[in-house]
Amino acid sequence: MMPVIEATDLIKEYRAYRKPRHWLMEKISFGKVSHAHVIRALDGVSVFVEQGQSFGIIGPNGSGKSTLLKVITGLLRPTSGQVKTHGRVAAFLELGSGFHPDFTGRQNIRLNCAVMGVSPKETRRLTDEIAAFSELGEAVDDPVRTYSSGMFMRLGFSVAAHIDPEILVVDEVLSVGDEYFMGKCIDHLNEFKLKGRTIVMVSHDLGLVRRLCDRVILLRNGKMTDRGDPDSVADNYLRQVYEEAARKLQSGIGAEKIEGVRRGSGEIEIVRAEIKSPDGSPLRMIETGQSVEIEMDYVVHRGVEKALFGFNIFRHDGVLLVSTNHELGPTPVNHPSLTPGSAGQVIFHCNAMPLLSGDYSLGFSIFRAGIGVPTPIDELLGAIKFKIVSVRHRDKGAWLLPGRWEFTSRRSE
């Protein structure tokens, strides 16, 4: 099948100047004097998109995604390389792009239809369809300079999706819409795809990319670093993001430094607390299902007969997810004698971290036990902040629920 988009060895460079006079000096010297800093937004990118394919472009901010879309749609000329498109292209790249701020929404619909070469008769029919799809109501007859970003998105997507393009190019701007209209847009994209039309999209919503796209490329620093099916490329991208975040988090770890809110009577003091991998490396980035060890070092200042050593985990919004101690669970243990001057360490071996992607905090506690209600001897809330990542698991919520699915079929009566 012949590609509808052929982009070969695209390079796009920008010349940046620290001061305006540097640009002037370069111009009046006819290039003999240059103070320009060359920024290469695209570096040898080649893209081939087949008819009827949904093609996704992902990557971190500043990787060249939007630049690539603008080059494909002809809004930017590449420094070198070639782009060929076969078919009418409708681009929805920036909020308000192609809209006159003093025209009403309805007038901008007509203007965009005229720019795209739609006949006057077809424009009259489409105007009502686009206005109805956007669900702007009476606001469609207000100047678009009065629109919110969400209203811009509604109008822009409605126009781009209804002028019957062979190729629809959509940038991240869909993310500003409300949940209802986002669902409506996705339904329309699915219908567009079923008609055999081509979609090229940039999105940070990897769930959307997985659902809609047939092929995906990953850009980093203007270079294409991966291409293939959505799941494998998205997983690779997530893994890179998590590894980079882990390096930053790990560089700031100070295991000897105790943080958080502290309270208690002080007979025993928590002097060190840490989350570690089984090989002893401190962790702040943990993958769902990973084995970890939660450690607490303590010293006894005044004798205590019985104490409960435990920890708790809170979600980023303050919801308590776990609160446990050494006497709970399937394998309770006893602590050693807590005499003045003694010290020790308690470790919880977690065979598989069950939390799903998100930000969490870990607190540590030592409570006096044995007489009435346990009271805090030393308690640290929010001592360690950590992040859970789920590359292999796409469940939603806080917990990975162990188990398996099974289907059986039977003949209906």
The CATH number of the domain holding residue 383 is 2.70.50.60
Q: Is 157 helix (H, G, I), strand (E, B) or coil?
A: helix
The answer as to whether 306 is a domain residue is yes
Cβ-contact 45, 223 below 8 angstroms: yes
Answering whether pTM is above 0.85, one says no
Please give the Cα distance from 258 to 261 (Å, whole number): 10
The answer as to whether 33 is a domain residue is no
Q: How many CB atoms lie within 10 A of CB 15?
A: 13
- Listed residues 245, 269, 300: the one ending a domain: 245
Cβ-contact 237, 58 below 8 angstroms: yes
User: Is the domain of 276 the same as that of 152?
Assistant: no
Q: In which order are the strands placed within the sheet that holds 215-220?
A: 89-92, 167-170, 198-202, 54-58, 215-220, 223-228
The answer as to whether 398 is a domain residue is no
The sign of the dihedral angle between the CA atoms of 139, 140, 144, 150 is positive
Secondary structure tally for the chain: helices H, strands E = 8, 18
The answer as to whether 74 is a domain residue is yes
Please give the Cα distance from 206 to 286 (Å, whole number): 20
| 244 Cβ contact list (under 8 Å, min separation 6) | none
50 token code pair? 């087949």
User: Is the domain of 174 the same as that of 150?
Assistant: yes
User: Is the domain of 241 the same as that of 265?
Assistant: no
The answer as to whether 350 is a domain residue is yes
Blockwise average pLDDT, block size 10, the chain, 413 residues: 86 82 71 75 92 91 90 90 85 70 89 82 87 88 88 83 81 70 82 87 85 92 92 87 69 58 92 91 89 95 94 91 90 91 94 92 92 87 88 82 87 73
Query: How many domains is the chain partitioned into structurally?
Result: 2
User: Is the domain of 216 the same as that of 268?
Assistant: no
Please give the Cα distance from 61 to 344 (Å, whole number): 47
User: Is the domain of 195 the same as that of 306?
Assistant: no
Please give the Cα distance from 313 to 362 (Å, whole number): 5
Q: Which among 252, 371, 379 has a CA at the least distance from the CA of 309? A: 379
User: Is the domain of 72 the same as that of 200?
Assistant: yes
User: Is the domain of 62 the same as that of 114?
Assistant: yes
CATH code of residue 178: 3.40.50.300
Cβ-contact 348, 294 below 8 angstroms: yes
Residue with tokens 């401190």: 282
236 token code pair? 């690779």
Cβ-contact 44, 67 below 8 angstroms: no
User: Is the domain of 265 the same as that of 230?
Assistant: no
**Structural domain boundaries, residue 163:** 52-245
User: Is the domain of 71 the same as that of 214?
Assistant: yes
Sort 405 into a burial class: Cβ within 10 Å, 0-12 / 13-18 / 19+. exposed
The answer as to whether 4 is a domain residue is no
H or E segment to which residue 218 belongs: strand 215-220
Cβ-contact 385, 363 below 8 angstroms: no
Cβ-contact 64, 41 below 8 angstroms: yes
Cβ-contact 91, 144 below 8 angstroms: no
Look at residue 218 in the predicted model and tell me its pLDDT: 95
Q: Which among 275, 218, 267 has a CA at the least distance from the CA of 366? A: 267
- Listed residues 210, 245, 280: the one ending a domain: 245
The answer as to whether 32 is a domain residue is no
- Listed residues 203, 218, 245: the one ending a domain: 245
Q: Which among 266, 279, 364 has a CA at the least distance from the CA of 322? A: 364
Q: Is 78 helix (H, G, I), strand (E, B) or coil?
A: coil
User: Is the domain of 228 the same as that of 279?
Assistant: no
User: Is the domain of 94 the same as that of 219?
Assistant: yes
The answer as to whether 27 is a domain residue is no
User: Is the domain of 344 the same as that of 292?
Assistant: yes
